[in-house]
């Protein structure tokens, strides 16, 4: 006996629905063999440690800006200051006052200062000298 196409379609739909109900019931009653795991426990310890860190600087922050160059750098418009592993350019060359003013107007910035020869030591061998100079002018961040 040949069945009409609508009946075949209806039968296959009913069978499909029955299969979905049975499979949904199986998955709904499945119980894991152990306890659940918190997603934070899956992260490596060093990533978890980084996520828990707090900012070192307070905000809004005061920023000290200094341009670092190779030892003895010079151009037609300036000469760098300091000797050792690096030197700094203490005169504004490509930077303009409006650049510093724009940074100073940012929401989480309390002020911007440039480091100069009064606070930068002549011997520059690590970042420690620049960090000390930034601390001397009471800034929170060194850029």
Q: Both tokens of residue 64?
A: 């000290």
Q: What is the pTM of this model?
A: 0.60
Report pLDDT digits (tens) over 18-57.
666 666 655 556 566 666 667 666 667 777 788 788 888 8
The pLDDT value given to residue 3: 54
SS3 content of the chain, % helix, strand, coil (to 5): 40, 20, 45
Q: What is the dihedral of CA 132, 134, 135, 141, to 10 degrees?
A: -120
């Amino acid at each position: 006996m040949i069945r009409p196409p609508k009946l075949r379609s209806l039968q296959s739909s009913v069978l499909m629905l029955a299969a979905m109900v049975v499979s949904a019931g199986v998955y709904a009653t499945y119980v894991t063999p152990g306890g659940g795991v918190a997603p934070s426990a899956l992260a490596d310890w060093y990533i978890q440690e980084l996520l828990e860190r707090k900012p070192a600087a307070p905000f809004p922050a005061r920023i000290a800006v200094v341009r670092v160059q190779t030892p003895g750098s010079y151009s037609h418009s300036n000469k760098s200051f300091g000797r050792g592993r690096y030197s700094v350019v203490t005169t504004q060359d490509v930077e303009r006052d409006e650049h510093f003013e724009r940074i100073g107007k940012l929401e989480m910035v309390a002020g911007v200062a440039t480091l100069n020869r009064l606070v930068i030591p002549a011997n520059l061998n690590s970042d420690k000298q620049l960090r000390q100079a930034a601390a001397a002018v009471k800034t929170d961040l060194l850029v």
